[in-house]
């Protein structure tokens, strides 16, 4: 099965940790984040992986070469010239994917989520996109209706809302986990450029089924935050 790991970020929140290496190679408990994520996604059968790179791209590529791609099929989507964010980065890699749903996973997210359950849930619900979410504190939330369909995005601090579709029931807020299963037909709604995939989802949700998968009982850490390395 195919997967994309978003690993092109600058790691600006980590500052000193990313002065000489990319965020993807910052170690946690003596193992680089990229390796931890690769091992986690491959454990659930995602063995054909594309990784986007930008900041210290050559170091990511060398790390993969030195480890024989962890005995997996690994491709590179090179964004060295321009960081495309999640939407533009995914679209640039579109030719890598086939007609089957695929996984997208942020390199700075560590979680015990069962990715096979997430994938099966996506298939069983005939969803266009399935977003892994949790009931946890976050400044930014996605709101869903009783059918688990995406209604809008909200910045909880400023009150700013980005609508998707009219929500006829009391909406349920969740924090997005940076993990999603996507139907490749998503590319019909996308284009080249620099933009967030969430903005695409909000647009697509008006026509297609975008639902959530609640994995609140799983461990989850945003390793883009320096304080989460304190136990490393």
Handedness of CA 2, 93, 104, 108 (dihedral sign): positive
What is the model's pLDDT at position 232? 47
Whole-number pLDDT of residue 231? 53
Tokens of 97: 């994917």
Name residue, tokens 């504190």: 137
Tokens of 86: 């999640």
> pLDDT tens digits for the chain (232 residues)?
999 999 998 777 777 678 889 999 999 999 999 999 999 999 999 999 999 999 899 999 999 999 999 999 999 999 999 999 999 999 999 999 999 999 999 999 999 999 999 999 999 999 999 999 999 999 999 999 999 999 999 999 999 999 999 998 899 999 999 999 999 999 999 999 999 999 999 999 999 999 999 999 999 999 988 888 765 4
**Euclidean distance between CA atoms 98 and 148, whole angstroms:** 27
What does the block give as tokens for 180? 């999603």
The model's pTM is 0.95
Residue 25 exposed, middle or buried by CB count within 10 Å (0-12, 13-18, 19+): buried
- Which residues have CB under 8 Å from 46's CB, separation 6+? 1, 2, 3, 103, 115
What is the pLDDT at residue 19?
84
Q: Where are the domains of the chain?
A: 2-133+176-192+209-216
Q: Which fold has domain 2-133+176-192+209-216?
A: Spore Coat Polysaccharide Biosynthesis Protein SpsA; Chain A (3.90.550)
Identify the burial level of 15 via C-beta atoms within 10 angstroms of its C-beta, where 0-12 means exposed, 13-18 middle and 19 or more buried: exposed
What's the rounded Cα separation, in Å, for the pair 74 and 68? 10
| Element housing 41 (H / E) | helix 33-43
Interatomic CA distance for residues 80 and 54, integer angstroms: 4
Q: What is the DSSP letter of 34?
A: H
Best CA proximity match to 12, nearest among 28, 23, 2, 1 = 23
User: DSSP for 59-97?
Assistant: HHHHHHHHTGGGGSEEEEEE-SS---HHHHHHHHTGGG-
């Amino acid at each position: 099965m195919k997967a994309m790991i978003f690993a092109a970020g600058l790691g600006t929140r980590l500052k000193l940790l990313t002065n000489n290496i990319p965020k993807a190679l910052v170690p946690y408990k003596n193992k680089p984040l990229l390796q931890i994520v690769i091992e986690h996604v491959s454990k659930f059968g995602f063995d054909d992986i594309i990784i986007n790179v930008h900041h210290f791209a050559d170091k990511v590529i060398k790390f993969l070469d030195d480890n024989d791609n962890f005995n997996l099929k690994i491709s590179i989507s090179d964004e060295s010239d321009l960081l495309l964010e999640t939407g533009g980065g995914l679209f640039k890699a579109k030719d890598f994917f086939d007609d089957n749903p695929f996984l997208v996973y942020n390199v700075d997210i560590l979680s015990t989520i069962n990715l096979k359950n997430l994938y099966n849930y996506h298939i069983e619900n005939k969803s266009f996109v399935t977003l892994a979410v949790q009931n946890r504190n976050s400044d930014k939330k996605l709101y869903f209706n009783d059918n688990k369909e995406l209604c809008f995005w909200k910045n909880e601090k400023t009150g700013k809302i980005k609508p998707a579709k009219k929500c006829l029931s009391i909406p349920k807020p969740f924090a997005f986990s940076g993990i999603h299963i996507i139907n490749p037909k998503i590319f019909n709604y996308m284009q080249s450029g620099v933009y967030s995939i969430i903005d695409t989802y909000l647009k697509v949700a008006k026509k297609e089924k975008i639902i959530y998968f609640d994995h609140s009982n799983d461990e989850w850490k945003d390793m883009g935050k320096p304080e989460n390395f304190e136990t490393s």
